[in-house]
Amino acid sequence: MSSFIVSKIKNLFKKEIMENNTETAQEVKRFQWKKGDHFGKVVEVESEDSEFYIFTDGTQIFKSVATEFLEKVDDINNLPFPSTTVISPSNKNEAKSVKEEAPKIIQSKVSAPVEKSPLENLIIKLSSKNVETLKLNLGVNLPKREVFDMLLENSDESRDEMIKTISQVVTSQIQIDKLQSYIYDEVTLFLNNYYNESNS
C-alpha cells in the first residue's frame, strides 16, 4: 500500500516538473521601441493575431510595420537601446527579478559624459553671446496635398488634428543619428562661408 502512495507522489512530481518546463519553454515576446514617442520603452506581447501585436501596457502595433519601429529583445539584461522603462512581465516571480535588474540595465546603457577639451570649452564660452541663424533644408516624408485632402474628407478629424497627427508621424520617422550627421555637414558648410566672408 505504501509503495502505491510513493508511486502516486512520484507521478505527481513528474507531472508538475513537466508543466513547469512547458511554461518556461513558452518564451515571452518582448520588444523595445526604436522610434517615436515611446523610444527606449520595453514592451511585452500580451496577445497577437495575424495583423497586430497587443502589448501588456495597452499599446498595439501592426505587424507589417513592427520591424521599423521595434527591436526584438532577446535578453532583458542586454537591451538594444538605452532604457528608463522596463515593462514587468505577467509572471510575478520574473517581474520581481526584472525590477531588481532594471537599475543595472539603465546604468550599463548610460554612457559617461564625454570630457570636452580645453579648446572646446573655450569655444562654448566665446560662442555663448553670439547667435547666428542657420537655415536648414530638411527633407521629410509626408502625404501629398491631394492625399491630405482625401484623408481630411474621409475622416472625422479636424484639419488641425490631421496636421498634428501627420506632424507626429513625420517627426517619429526622423532618425537622430542621421539628423545630427546632416546638421553637422550643414554647419560645416555654413562655417566655411561665414569665416570666409569675415576674412574678405
Find, among 46, 43, 94, the residue nearest to 69 by Cα: 43
Alpha carbons 123 and 89: distance in angstroms, whole number? 48
Residues 131-166: b if buried by 16+ CB within 10 A, e if exposed: eeeeeeeeeeeeeeeeeeeeeeeeeeeeeeebeeee
At 111 the pLDDT is: 47
How far is the first Cα of the chain from the last one, in angstroms, to the nearest whole number?
Answer: 108
At 100 the pLDDT is: 43
Sequence letter at residue 70:
L
At 200 the pLDDT is: 58
Alpha carbons 84 and 50: distance in angstroms, whole number? 30
Query: Residue 102: pLDDT above 60?
Result: no
Neighbours of 99 (CB within 10 A): 11
What number of H helices and E strands is found in the chain? 7, 5
Joined grid coordinates for residue 147: 492625399
Judge contact between 81 and 71, C-beta under 8 A.
yes
pLDDT tens track for 124-176: 888 888 888 888 787 778 888 898 888 888 888 898 988 988 888 888 887 88
* Mean pLDDT value across residues 52-78: 85
Query: Residue 99: pLDDT above 60?
Result: no
- Residues 6+ away with beta carbon under 8 Å from 69: 33, 34, 35, 36, 61
pTM exceeds 0.85? no
At 84 the pLDDT is: 52
Decide which of 18 and 111 is more confident: 18
* Mean pLDDT value across residues 27-54: 84
Tell me what the pLDDT averaged over the chain comes to: 74
